[in-house]
Amino acid sequence: MAIFHTLSAPACRRNQGFALVLALSLMAFILLLLLSLSTFVRVESANSAQRIDTTASQQNALVALKEAIGELQTTAGADQRITATGGLWATPAAGAEHLVGVWSSEDRDGDGQADGDFQRWLVSRVDDADSRDIALVAVAQPVRLDGDQYVSTSDDFVVLV
């Protein structure tokens, strides 16, 4: 019986070593799984933040578009006004030939022809009174690109697009 006992002891030790290797392998697998999940969550969080920023930018652009269309409808009116570009000016300044102006189509003096009274240029300015001056197209309106590739203008002039 002593022989049987000595033969079973090394087999038992061999099984204990296998259990240790198996336990360490499972722990390594669980660690790898946790790292993978944390990386996945981090990437998805970044994508979600980017989607939120993109949606906010799109909503801001829609609000600006609606404001611009509202300004156009208010200024140009319903078949009461005529719109034309600054290129109709005899010598428009550089950058001003693409500005859109609004003229009245009313006949105030009763001669059967539209008087063509100038209303305003469709531009956004700090001082709105400047956009009502027809000579605005005679002044150069510089537009520059800054380092972030956004269109930047002087402090008080932005063309409505």
The DSSP 8-state label assigned to residue 136 in this structure reads G
Same domain, 38 and 109: no
Each residue of 60-117: pLDDT tens digit? 999 989 988 888 888 887 677 888 887 776 666 666 777 788 888 887 788 877 777 8
pLDDT at residue 90, rounded to an integer: 66
Tell me whether residue 72 is in a domain: no
Which helix H or strand E contains 75, and what residues bound it?
helix 2-76
* 61 and 89, same domain (yes or no): no
Quick: pLDDT tens for 23-53: 999 999 999 999 999 999 999 999 999 999 9
Q: What is the pLDDT of residue 14?
A: 55
Residue 161 has a pLDDT of 42
4 found inside a domain: yes
Question: pLDDT tens for residues 104-144?
Answer: 888 778 887 777 788 888 877 656 667 777 776 666 555 55
Is the pTM higher than 0.85? The answer reads: no
The answer on pLDDT for 56 being more than 90 is: yes
Domain count, the chain: 2
Same domain, 18 and 52: yes
Q: Which of 65, 87, 89 is nearest to 160 (CA)?
A: 65
Residues 111 and 137 in one domain: yes
Q: Are 135 and 90 in contact (CB under 8 A)?
A: no
H or E stretch at 124 = strand 123-125
Q: Tell me, yes or no, whether 112 lies in a domain.
A: yes
